[in-house]
Structure 1
Amino acid sequence: MHMDDLAWQASNLGGLAPRSVDLLLEHGHLELVIQAAAERGEWFCAEGAVEELCRAGEFGRALKVMEPFVATGWPTALWVKADILLRSGRPQEALDLVRPDAAGGTSKAESHDFAGLLAKAGRIDEAVDLLVPHIDGWWTLSVLVEITVGQDRDEQVLQLIAPHADSARHARGESRWNHPFHNAQELQAQVLERAGRTDEAIQILGQDIAGHHYFTQNTLTAYADLLARHGRLDELRELATGRTRRTVLAIYAGALRDHGRAEEAETVMREAIAADDWVGYRAWLSLALLRDGRLDDAIAVAEPGFGWYDCSNLLAPLVYPLLDRPEELLHLVEHPRVVPHHDHEDFQHWWRALALARLGRIDEAIALAEADPRPWTDPRMIKADLLGMVGQFHAAAAELRVLGTVKAREELCRVLIRQGQAAEAISVHPTAAEQRAAKPKPEPVPLDENGYSLEPPF
């Protein structure tokens, strides 16, 4: 076990991935997960086991699981150990374990994490004192607001935020387009709200919005959400007009629905589509209609966007809520208005096959998957997946054993877990080293003198 191996696992979901570990734990195989962590150096097994053990109050065993990972010197493992110590009632040991370097060699992220740990340990004054001298931009200010939630420090935090919020609004008023504290105004409103000063938060942030003295769309949506949370629908309706309409109208329509005014919300959005046929309006309304059980109406609204590119394509957002509702999913993907997404026709094949399988029409589903002329993965993997979905685990496992690739063995592991063969499942799963070796190596590309690619994508 080496630090580099663990870092690779964490960044690539390598080894036994979280969903496989979760499946093992759901089926009651904690001891096998602990064993895999120890014998195979499986990081996600170690994390999963530690969480289960801590929930059960077995902090000593949790520390024992984590110790070999800590011994590599990997900082992430060290922080997990600190969390175990804190949860077990040993805050001083936790803090001493990850205390920042007094010589100043600590990164900003590590300082933020340590401040958060101090707050969790009940030492909020030390946490604030650690951050305050280093508030040089939006990130540290955000951390300060986050760690002081419920800590009776709102007035102190507001005093710290105020000069940065004033500086930001004046900078924007002078047509300067960047500022290190671009989020200070919304943070100020957030703390005012949690301090029970909602009217003041609305007044101050509302003046900033009205005068266009803010930097990012996030500040505008923060104000709209603030109005929505407190039922200020008249002000929200006024905000959802003109230049801010595309950003705010969905928040206003959602607030109307939350107040039992769904028909009015639908009318508002249909009028917006009639005046400005923007994809965002269609996306919101189609999903709202789907939530109300009006699938055909949702299709009619979204249909003009079924053939558009990338995130503007409105077919997929309707598909995903229906993955566990096969009759409606099949109705959607076989609807005459539905066209394949540009260059991704294969996804439509897969969605239809999934619906057929879950309706018990497994032979049709497999035939469709195998006939797909442009598969995005090996058709045998799709066939095994479909078989597994309908509980034909032996048949699915047989397909995957024959295929024998790294990906097939990963899927075979999950099939075997569901089959009740957890020990074999872990043994057939590829090691992190095998997964890493199987990853395709990127081809080197020529670079210019600044280090940028000379070939597309640039």
Structure 2
Amino acid sequence: MGLLARQGRIDEAVETGLPACRDHDNGHVVHWILELLVTDGRPGRALEVLDNLTGGWVDGHPEDVQHLRLWLLGQAGRHQEGIALATALPRDEPGLWDSILADLLEADGRAEEAIAVLCSSPHRNAAESLAGILVRTGRPAEAVAVIPSTAEQRAAYERAERQWKEADPWGVAAALARTEQDEKQPEGQGQQRAAPDAVMTIRARTARR
């Protein structure tokens, strides 16, 4: 794909990469194809490609797909359409779409509305996005003031980690508790033990977080 792209054979590169998009682990290929078309000056074609993708990574990452769609609408100059979509999307996570909504508002010449959205946003990335808009609108001192300190960022990260663990979306805590209980039981008693590889996987995921 890369060789075709370097030779300027963009459509051939895209067609070569599309089959890989059916794989659940190939989100990077989806991004690469869309960015390739945008760089080639064809965000509209990139939107068509995204809308026609099915299965694999696309089906497993609906929020990422919506973010890509909103970004492509902005790249295509369809700001008002993107704003309407971002405003209507469900917010399973508070402030989830605020940064991309602000980008679309700014691109539509509505910088003050974008700043207002980010000032009221609870999302963890809102301050960074707000600082960027303030810099671009000639207000660097205000931009510096809104960036959280290192201590504030660390506290926000730890708070998010606690909330994630309390929510326990993958049931990791319950699985570990069962495994530890089984390990204390004499062989042949208690619940059937989890496979060693599964136990190690769960513990590795927990350690990484």
Shorter chain as normaliser: what TM range? Answer: 0.5 to 0.7
- Gapped regions of structure 1 (runs ≥ 5): 1-285
**Are positions 1:363 and 2:108 aligned together?**
no
Structure 2 Cα separation of the partners of residues 342 and 418 of structure 1: 36
* Counterpart amino acid of residue 386 in structure 1: L
Which residue in the other structure is 2:136 paired with? Answer: 418
Matched, 1:457 2:175: no
Of 29, 53, 56, the match for 1:314: 29
Residue 369 of structure 1 deviates from its aligned partner by: 2.8
Amino acid at match of 2:19: P
Report how far residue 415 of structure 1 moved. 1.2
Q: Which residue matches 1:441?
A: 161
The correspondence of residues 15-54 of structure 1 with structure 2, limited to 5 A, is none
- The reply on whether 1:332 has 2:46 as its aligned counterpart is yes
Distance 1:304 1:382 in 2: 29
State the number of aligned residues: 170
How far residue 375 of structure 1 moved from its aligned partner, in angstroms, is 7.0
Q: Distance in 1 between matches of 2:127 and 2:27?
A: 35
Amino acid at match of 1:364: E
Task: Spell out the pairing of 1:50-449 with structure 2 (5 A cutoff).
Answer: 286-311=1-26, 314-325=29-40, 327-335=41-49, 337-339=52-54, 341-372=58-89, 378-389=96-107, 392-439=110-157, 440-442=160-162, 443=165, 446=177
For the 8 Å contact 2:115–2:133, the answer to whether it is kept is yes
Contact 1:357 1:386 in 2 (8 A): yes
Is the 1:306–1:314 Cα contact (8 Å) retained in structure 2? Answer: yes
Asked whether the equivalents of residues 369 and 379 of structure 1 are also in contact (C-alpha less than 8 Å), the reply is yes
Change (3 A) 1:291 1:372: farther
- Cα shift readout 1:183-210 (whole Å, capped 9, x = no counterpart): xxxxxxxxxxxxxxxxxxxxxxxxxxxx
**2: distance between equivalents of 1:441 and 1:347?**
21
Provide the identity percentage: 29
Q: Write the distance in 2 (CA, Å) between the matches of 1:416 and 1:312.
A: 32
Distance 1:294 1:350 in 2: 27
Question: Which residue type is aligned with residue 2 of structure 2?
Answer: L
Q: Contact (CA 8 Å) 2:79, 2:107: kept in 1 or not? A: no
**Partner AA of 1:457 in structure 2:** I
**1:156 equivalent in structure 2:** none
Displacement, 1:391? 5.4
TM-score, scaled to structure 1: 0.32
Structure 2 residues without counterparts, runs of 5 or longer: 166-172, 184-196, 204-209
Q: CA RMSD in A?
A: 3.3
Write the letter of the residue equivalent to 1:418.
Answer: R
Q: Is the 8 A contact 1:413 1:425 kept in 2?
A: yes
For residues 345 and 402 of structure 1, the distance between their equivalents in structure 2, rounded to whole angstroms, comes to 25
Letter in 1 for 2:152: E
Instruction: In structure 1, give the amino acid aligned to 2:22.
Output: G
Moved >6 Å (runs of 4+)? 374-377
Whole-Å Cα distance in 2 between the matches of residues 372 and 298 of structure 1? 32
SS at match of 2:87: helix
